[in-house]
Each structure stands twice: as structure tokens, then as C-alpha cells.
Amino acid sequence: MTVNNPFIYDDSKVTKEQAKTIRYNNMKLLSVISNLKMLNTDDPNAFTKLSLLMPNQISRASNGTYMRNPENMDVTIFNKKIQALMRELAENRVYPEYRDPDTNKPLTARQIYFSSFFYQNMVSFYIGDTYKKEPTQWGDYKRTSLPIPDYIPSPKNSLGAALSLYAVGGNKIGLDLNRMLDTILISDGKGGFKLHLNNTFDTNNLLSDAVDYQIGILKENAIFKSLYLPKEKGLDDSERY
């Protein structure tokens, strides 16, 4: 883990109860972000289709009420960033200041978002193989015979199980998604936010480091390790993909 990485939450600054709510918020937002890939299209009905897939989540994300307030903490600005991202991807307006390097045509909001280092590193998170200590992709984990604990929802896959276990227990938070959104959003001067890319080399390295740290938190959870086994060790990269 990079020392003083701004995209890794400082656990020492929050209480145990605050940390639990922050982990729960992370789990919820990571669920929404994973489905934003549906918007990587020119389909004008893409946002409607996404809303039909997860109506409550997209409705609350779009009206600025998605994140819970941890005790004695205010997530209003965080919610406004999420709301702004939903609006930008729904409206998909053109940004004249961002141009395709080949055609010089202005980019749309979706094109900007999906070309961001934020998005690219989130893709790495959902694949799950960049954590060097355990590079198995989430989709390649195998279930053991142990039952899923009653206190978490029945997961669809290994990542779902890992996130549910992370949300209900543990000592580390991992990603500071509020700060991570600052790499793709900036104040619009009117109390809201608009897209603005920070696609620098250093930013990419910090995002990558934070994502790998989060993957490690999920994969090193003792209960997760009892429920899911990594695929057979010893395969080279050509065999893994």
C-alpha cells in the first residue's frame, strides 16, 4: 500500500460504528458502479434500462440520497457527486473541451467517463486479479461445501459474498470512494458537479494501489477464505485469461 494514498480511507479517523456504515456505503456504491457499464453505448434508452434493472438504487443515486450518514458525519457532498455522475451519464451531453485524439470530435459525457482512469481501475476491481498475493479472478473462485452465513444475503458470486462479508465486519475500510470521484468530477460553481478528468500518471498509480488494497481486504477475510477457494495455483498468464 502506498503511504498516504488519498484514495485509501484513514481508518484511524473514524469510530467502529462509523467505519461499519462507511463499509456499507462502499458496498452499495460499488454495486451501482459495476452496473454503469450498461451505459457504455450510444443507445438513448440505456439509462432507462439501467433504472429498470435496479430501480431503487438508481432512483436514490439520482436524487442525492444514496449514501447513509455515518454517526456524526455528513455525506451530503458525497451524495451530490453521485447524483451529478448519474445526471451526466443519463443526459450524455457533449463536452467541447474534451476531444477524440484521432477525429478531433468533442467527447460525450459517457465517452469521458469510460476513458477515465477511475473507470479503468474499477474494472480491475471487478475482475479481481491484480492483487499479487492472490491473483485469482473473482469469476474463477470455487465454492466450498460450507454454508453461507445467515447474516449476509445469498450472494450471486464470490465478489458479492466478499462485499457482503466486508460490509458487516472487519477492521479496515479500504477505498475512499468520495475522494476517488474527485478524479472525474469538479465543482460546477453552482452547488453541483460536472465531469473533469484527472488522468495523470500519478493519479492512475494511486487509484491502482487503492484498488489492489481493497481487493486484498476482501480476499483476506477469513470467512470468505473458508467459503471460496482460488483456482489451481501455478498457471502462467497465458493460461489465466
Beta carbons of 233 and 148 less than 8 angstroms apart: no
On the question of pLDDT at 235 being above 50, the answer is no
Which residues have a Cβ under 8 Å from the Cβ of 83 and sit 6 or more positions away? 61, 62, 63, 64, 66, 192
Which residues have a Cβ under 8 Å from the Cβ of 179 and sit 6 or more positions away? 6, 7
Distance between CA 232 and CA 141 in Å, rounded?
10
pLDDT category at 171 given cuts 50, 70, 90 is confident
Distance between CA 189 and CA 196 in Å, rounded?
13
CA proximity to 54, closest of 67, 35, 27: 35
Each residue's pLDDT tens digit, 173-210 = 999 999 999 999 999 999 999 999 999 999 999 999 99
